Chains A and B, each alone.
Chain A
């Protein structure tokens, strides 16, 4: 409900009534007088068939926050937390303070804020609902290339909070974290960024190796996207309209990558660095020709090129953020990609990752150091509902 609009309606009620000595009434709209540009004022609806932060435009700043449930948190308590989160997420996304917001001014710049709520295997266990687990895997399987750090791995609950203003993200995370305190504690948090709106309109952004990221992604709103991302509820009716999220923190060895000659960088990715076109092609958006050979009979896109190994990627939707957290304990750049993929089931991602782990030329310069996956329940259709409700119905 928009309180300010409602108060404005009081004007009509005030007219034509005896008011004694005062004689006149003063009524109009209360206004938020702070200035806000179009980017700051933009809102994304929280309520809908699907949760926000998946098929909605990707914002510039993101935080991924994982929680571990307290031992006392059971099905009943988990529902109470999900109700609180949904209520505050809806307020914050609309640019209103959360209930009991400690810094309400920080909530008045929604900047396309989206809040996506995920449930890990541990949440299903705590709620005695393992029989409703909707995914083919209980966790992302271990791969030989993994060097996972518990700091960025696992978790019972997930929040993906994203907006075009970093302060909005930090504040929303704080408000939602306070909601969670009686039920869960924060176990890890990762921040990332994506290209700002209007920096490269109509182009895919570049990753920290300088290559374009995102070609071949299904386009939100299309049938391809729907079949790749939204679960149809055939196996678990409660999960219809939901999806799965895979999160991989992939450290990129920027120092050693810099030593790689440009042509070798291109054959590693299988793309031209200048415009993102597949090798042998001219446009970022054209389909790679994996059979094309050069004059010497060699494959133009090598056998172990990243895009060849990841060919099945059209079956998932990648929505990654870059990260740069300074230096590791060893003094190396702690930078890379917060790889995020959505899929109607996790097996699609696992299949692609297994192929990459086996043969991807890029593995020399990239190391997965964090890994987590969560069930993303369908959206709350209206104010009367909350995210996760169908799981408990």
Chain B
């Protein structure tokens, strides 16, 4: 199953001008933004290079929403050298007109936060981050992409509510509040003392 869900199917055609064509020649420097990553680039030409737009990007946090976020509980976790680890799962919807890329995060309770993928059954940092195309929703779910929290001094416990920040390539940030949940699926023999 593909994790990305197209938000829309009905086309609303919007004919638009590219910003650069109307610019006057008096401008010595033009501020351009990468259409995909929103990274700023100053050029000495009047026109922005291919793949860039003069239009200042809408900051990611205004075009992205997070829903159904939860963090995996560590009630049964054993202490580990280097601290505890857990992961967050959620739906990230990009309702803006540009692709956005989730590149990392931050949390007061976890010194290290990374965007991870599962490749061939192995968990690893996702190279280049996770891109969510304009108009799509990405589902971060167990066994697939997730936000990884590492080097945690304390466990997070089922029923807690935690806060963390998602960081995007354009510098945008989103604060997410999420409950902590156990996922010991159906294991009635579960023993918290283990």
Contact = CB atoms under 8 A, between A and B. Distances in A.
Given A17-B55, A19-B16, A178-B182, A99 B95 contact: no
B157 interface: yes
Interface in A148-191: 174, 177-179, 181-183, 185-186
B97 A25 contact: yes
8 contacts: A3-B67, A14-B96, A19-B14, A25-B11, A25-B12, A84-B179, A97-B68, A178-B182
Contact of A23 (B15, B73, B137, B190): B15
Interface in A8-31: 9-11, 13-20, 23-30
A16 to B, nearest CB: 7
Nearest to A82: B159
B188 A186 contact: yes
B12 A15 contact: yes
Interface of A: 1, 3, 6-7, 9-11, 13-20, 23-30, 70, 72, 77, 79-81, 83-84, 87, 97, 99-100, 102, 174, 177-179, 181-183, 185-186
B102 interface: no
B5 interface: yes
Contact of A13 (B17, B35, B53, B97): B97
Given A27-B12, A182-B190, A186-B188, A13 B134 contact: no
Q: What secondary structure prevails in chain B residues at the interface with A? A: loop
B89 interface: yes
B19 interface: yes
A30 B7 contact: yes
B192 A182 contact: yes
Interface string B145-171: 000000000000111110000000000
Contact of B157 (A16, A27, A80, A87): A80
B6 interface: yes
A6 B65 CA distance: 9
A205 to B, nearest CB: 33
A259 B98 CA distance: 77
A91 B109 CA distance: 27
A15 B68 CA distance: 27
B51 to A, nearest CB: 8
B35 A20 contact: yes
B141 to A, nearest CB: 8
Contacts of B10: 26-28
B40 interface: no
A140 B79 CA distance: 45
Contacts of B160: 80
